[in-house]
Each structure stands twice: as C-alpha cells, then as structure tokens.
Chains A and B, each alone.
Chain A
C-alpha cells in the first residue's frame, strides 16, 4: 500500500469552550480523493486548518510524506495546493495576475508561470476573466479563481474546503473534473463538504466528522447516502449522551 501523502495521528486541538477536533486519525494516499463530511460546526474547517499549519495541534501530529509539519522544510509546501474559506485573490488585481503571483508563491519557476496560468484559465474556463479585477467578479467566479490558484501548479496534495459552495452547475462540473484529473495523475485530495450528492460523485472514501471526532465512513457508491449519514450522526449523539 502506498505511503500516505497526508497523515493525521491522534490530532487534538481544542478552543476555549470545548469546540475543536479530538484525537483525529486520518490518512490520504496518492491518487485518492477523500471527502470529509459533517454538519456545520462539526470541525471540518478546523481539521483542514491543522493540515495547512494554520493551527498547531495541542496533541498528536500532522505529517506530510511522513514528516511532521514542525520539521517540514519550506520547500515541501511547493507540492501542496489549498483553498480554505477565502480564495487567495486580491481584489485590486485581475484574474491572470492573481494566478501568476500565486504560481510564483507556490514555487513555479518564472519562465513557466505564463504557461501555467494559461493552462488553468483554459481548464476552469476562466479565460474571459483573465483581465477582470477580482473585486468585479461574482462570488462564484472568485471562488473558481481561488480553486485555480490551488490547482494550477499540479500539487501532490490538494486540500479544499467546501469547493463547490458558490459555484453554478457548470462550475461544479469543471471543478469536479479538475479535481478528479489531479487524483488520477497521482495527487492525494482531501475535500470537505456538506453536499453528500456532490462528494459521492468525486470521492473514493467519505469520512464523517461529528463534534470534532471521526464518527464513521460512508460508501460513496452506496444507496441512501443521506440516511446513512444521519444515522451515523444520530448514533454518535446518542453514544455521547449516554
């Protein structure tokens, strides 16, 4: 079995008031799309923030290619692409400039930036927004621009938080195809969502998080996905109450 690109081992991070994530174990291997589903406030975004180093765990460790984040050399982040909550898109810059600057920040050599930007503009059908300032873009197009920022350098690990939230149906298809293409090329993908139908179409595995704990898995090809999800959430609530 391939070594996981991403591994969380007993990760706990608790905020004042008790919210957070508790003793989370998770692995994502090359070529697989793992979806993290849960109700609002279940801890999905907190978990993704831990993966990107936006938060440090109180206990446990987050590892990329087996190396804990606190010992990871900066260069290793060149193989990661992510969008969590807000897109890395500056309102005063146009689409192409935002992509070009992000490509450079992700380690794409200067000589390759033009081709990288052109390819992702084409892939996510953003060509007509190349010279449009990000502040003039609709919410959905800004989100698509942020996803292009995360995907354009073909990272080995893709981390996306609710990637299709503001997208129209065509945008959803484009992003789904782009994510699948990255995974088929060997990338490990971790994506959070609360759209069960959507994750069922793209994920190889679905993990359910509830109240900051991993509470079970769902079969992406199984029938009655919604019913199975709520059964897990309900059983977890009962077990914690008893």
Chain B
C-alpha cells in the first residue's frame, strides 16, 4: 500500500476544492432540491390561479389583489408573480442557506472541518458562493417556468414588456437571496439550523413591516421587491444595498468561521 502524495492547497486551489465539495453536497441535497421545486411550483401555481380567477370573473379576487391584476393578462400575471416572489424567495433561500451552514453543526460534521489544509474561512466562503450560484440558477428557472405557466394559461404571445418583467422576477430571486444572507451568520453564531431559519423569518417580517411603514427605497430588505414591482421608483444605488448587505454579512460569516471554537 502506498501513501498518496498529499499537497497542501494554496488559497485559490483551496477555494476551488471547497467549491467542488460544497457543490457536490448541494447537488445531493434533498433540502435544496425540494426548496427549489416548492418555490418555482408555488409561485407559478399561485400566479396562474389568481389570474385564472380574475379571468373567470371572480370580482372578490380582483378586489383583494387590486387594480393591477384586474386586466387578467400578462401584466396581471407578472404583478402577482412579483409580489409572491418578493416574500417567498427570501423565505426559501434563507431556509436553504440556514441548512447549508447550520447542518454542519446539527449533523456534527463541523468537527471534521477543523485540522484541514482547506481553511474553515475558505469553506464558509465556498458555502456562500455555492448558495449564490444556486440562487442564480433559480433566477433563471423561475422566469422560464413562469413563461411556460403564462402560456399554458392562454395569456397569448408575450411582448418585450413581459420579457422585461420576467427578467425582473429572475433578478428579484437573486437579490432576495442576498437579503437572506444573514441566515448564514445566525446559523454560525447560533451553532445550528434553527437560528438561521428564525433569522430568515425575521428578515421577511421586518421587510413586510418596513414596506408597510414606508421604510423607503434605500432600506436593503425592501428595495428589491419595491424595484421589481415599480422599477422606476428605486434608483440603482438603492438596489445595490441588497448585494452590499450580503457582502458585509458574508464577510462577517467568514470571519466567524475563521475564529470558530467548539466550546458550547
């Protein structure tokens, strides 16, 4: 039996290795697969059901959803899809990220991530990057699924405005994933899945309350949804607050993993 050549990875090789490992875990994960299916199917079904109800003459539904959906066309369909995505995407991506980070603590595998040539901070960075990659994938799949659902509802051939609306829904998913990054820090500091999930729920609640109280377009938790619903009202700088928030919290998460001790 011969010993393998063991070479410690440099920082870049370490990140490549960590990305490969985290990607393999995500591909095999039932949690991320079911979250993806639930988000895509849920948004499509709700949007289709609401527009179908309006088109069937259900005035009660029209009254509740507002004048934006009264037309029962592509605009109405996209208005519902955007509103639902605004809340659902934060919840779905936050729960996924809480699992991605918190499972190492709840499964006890975090101990095996010590004493490796690939540092824990590199592994934490890889987790966030893989998560954002997964969210970007969802940002492509959801608009495609919505397009198919709209066509299946008989909304007719989509114009340029519809494609622009679908693209906004896709970007909203990615920006919602940015807003949910605090789940990673909470799962790390709380050493488990539940603190991450609780933080995600907190983000959704604060965003809803913030929107209701008119927190403004510069509030990072509400800016993405406000932009997706009414693009002209949110300047690009305000929209950038969501990725900036993600960057800052991801940096704190990486730092927390670097300084991590299993002392609880």
A50, chain B: closest CB distance, angstroms: 10
B34, chain A: closest CB distance, angstroms: 12
CB < 8 Å neighbour of B6 from A49, A78, A85, A90 = A78
Contact, CB under 8 Å: B5 / A109 = yes
Chain A, 29-83, CB within 8 A of any chain B CB? 49, 52-56, 73-80, 82-83
For B108, what are the chain A residues with a Cβ–Cβ distance below 8 Å? 85-86
Contact, CB under 8 Å: A92 / B28 = yes
B4, B17, B116 — most chain A CB neighbours (10 Å): B4
Contact, CB under 8 Å: A75 / B117 = yes
Interface size classification for chain A: 35 or more
Interface size classification for chain B: 20 to 34
> A115 within 8 Å of B by Cβ?
yes
A43, chain B: closest CB distance, angstroms: 14
CB < 8 Å neighbour of A116 from B4, B25, B114, B117 = B4
For A137, what are the chain B residues with a Cβ–Cβ distance below 8 Å? none
Contact, CB under 8 Å: B9 / A77 = no
CB contact under 8 A between A93 and B6, given known A84-B111, A105-B17, A105-B21: no
For B17, what are the chain A residues with a Cβ–Cβ distance below 8 Å? 104-105
Q: Which residue in chain B gives the minimum CB-CB distance to A181?
A: B1
> B29 within 8 Å of A by Cβ?
yes
> B115 within 8 Å of A by Cβ?
yes
Q: Which residues of B contact A (CB under 8 A)?
A: 1-9, 14, 17-18, 20-21, 24-25, 28-30, 107-109, 111-119, 261-263
Q: Which residues of A contact B (CB under 8 A)?
A: 15, 49, 52-56, 73-80, 82-93, 97, 101-109, 112, 115-116, 119, 123, 146, 149, 152-155, 159, 181, 185
Known: A101-B25, A107-B6. 11 other contacts (CB 8 A): A53-B114, A54-B114, A74-B119, A82-B114, A88-B112, A88-B113, A92-B25, A101-B21, A105-B113, A123-B1, A155-B6
